[in-house]
Chain A
Amino acid sequence: MQKTVSLTVNGRPVSATVEGRTLLVQLLREQLGLTGTHVGCDTSQCGACVVHVDGEAVKSCTLLALQAEGRSVLTIEGVATGDTLHPMQEAFRNNHALQCGFCTPGMVMSALDLVKNNPNPTEREVREYLEGNLCRCTGYHTIVLAILEGAAVMRGEAPPANVHGAAAE
């Protein structure tokens, strides 16, 4: 059964023809070409597919495209402003918070969801919020540092010294 779904993606209105069973992540990646959102496990556990729907982090592999009808979706491609990285992305870069980078889009989207609800999280709160985001290469140490730094910059504070001991540029 083909249906038309209309939604806003990264501020842009889009319409597409999908099946009932088409997942939001399939619409984003395969029909809209937004391949920054990844599918890691396909079982709702790894968080590589996290996007925001109406400002809330959700797993786009566990949402039908038709459930996003009329909603506003933000993917990793919509986070930066032109060539200027978002402070959270910049913090991931500063802290070398990725190795292969596969989990990074989901990490950044979850981090932004955390900071929206809790602008000044503790390290423990960051670790707890990453419950649904799995990284299989670096461990979480620098990811947590990056999120603390990104949150600080988003609060308008000077970034703390990063993992390399230097203040972020």
Chain B
Amino acid sequence: MYEFNYHKPASLDEIANLLAANDEAKLLAGGMTLLPTLKQRLARPSDLIDLAAITSLRGITDAGDAIVIGAMTRHAEVNRSPVVKQGLPALAAMAGMIGDPAVRNRGTIGGSISNNDPAADYPSALVALNATVHTTKREIAADNFFTGMFETALEPAEIVTAVRFPKLQIANYQKFRNPASRYAIVGVFVARFPNAVRVAVTGAGPVVFRVPEMEAALTQNFSPDAIKDITIKEDGLNSDIHASAEYRAHLVGVMARRAVAACG
């Protein structure tokens, strides 16, 4: 790892000042992606700004018909939270599928979505559940937040503070994981709202995407059979040593049907 200056500021204002003064600074949340990246010398930030002391970024709030999760809330906390288990059980279950237990004890929702790894789990949950990302500057709909591979709508020096999810009982996430990295080769999150169904896919493409054809079919008839003839084109999907684009396209259909079936 290249050397850097480590900071642990006590306020968001202090962080804003540090970011403004250091072009090559990076924010450190749980570090579960950033530290391995630094160890491989794939990045060379001048400064690491640890968000751990900003207590306002932590915690899960029951906001009536919604749940607000602070950016520095760890996956293990989301997984075990009675509020999330009760109001949005599919999200609690999804958080329990990320990485492994020690990773879930450190990794955070804000870090995960800001990094926007194409195979991360959280982006599919935010998009399927029509969540809203709260930042130090504004609120961004999940549909507009994830803009490309490892790219988001965040501006320089804009920090995710929380994510707001509507409560929803009928939703499910199915993940076909890479057994070594535990990332999703393909993950499909299905959410059934009173008047609409949303289907979001992670792992398959460069960035999370919805499947409007499946959403329309499932809105008419919420059953695995309703989408059995819908095929996903492999054009533009990821292809690597773990899975070809063709295989990933096939998995999207399989995982989507499993998710619908699991909704009961």
Contact = CB atoms under 8 A, between A and B. Distances in A.
Interface of A: 1, 3, 19-21, 23, 42-45, 47, 50, 56-59, 62-64, 66-67, 69, 110, 113-114, 117, 129, 131-133
Contacts of B17: none
Nearest to B181: A45
A114 B52 contact: no
A67 B50 contact: yes
A62 B4 contact: no
Contacts, number: 79
A44 B36 contact: yes
Contacts of B181: 45
Given A45-B181, A58-B106, A66 B101 contact: no
Contact of A50 (B5, B36, B102): B102
B2 A21 contact: yes
Contact of A132 (B6, B76, B99): B99
Contact of B103 (A1, A42, A59, A64): A59
Contacts of B101: 57, 110, 113-114, 129, 131-132
A69 B102 contact: no
Sorting the interface of chain B by its residue count into under 10, 10 to 19, 20 to 34 or 35 or more gives: 20 to 34
B103 A44 contact: yes
Given A20-B48, A67-B50, A67-B52, A58 B3 contact: no
B105 A1 contact: no
Given A1-B3, A64-B6, A66-B6, A56 B31 contact: no
B21 to A, nearest CB: 16
A59 B102 CA distance: 6
Interface of B: 1-6, 8, 28, 31-32, 35-36, 38-39, 48, 50, 52, 76, 80, 99-103, 105-106, 180-182
Nearest to A60: B102
Contacts of A131: 99-101, 182
28 contacts: A1-B6, A3-B6, A20-B4, A21-B3, A21-B4, A21-B38, A45-B180, A45-B181, A47-B102, A56-B76, A57-B102, A57-B105, A58-B102, A59-B103, A59-B106, A62-B36, A63-B31, A64-B48, A67-B50, A69-B8, A113-B105, A114-B101, A129-B101, A131-B101, A131-B182, A132-B99, A132-B102, A133-B100
Contacts of B39: 42-43
Nearest to A49: B102
A20 B48 CA distance: 9
Nearest to A21: B1
B76 to A, nearest CB: 8
B8 A66 contact: yes
Given A3-B6, A66-B6, 13 more contacts: A1-B3, A21-B38, A42-B39, A43-B39, A45-B181, A47-B102, A58-B105, A62-B36, A64-B6, A64-B31, A67-B28, A69-B8, A117-B80
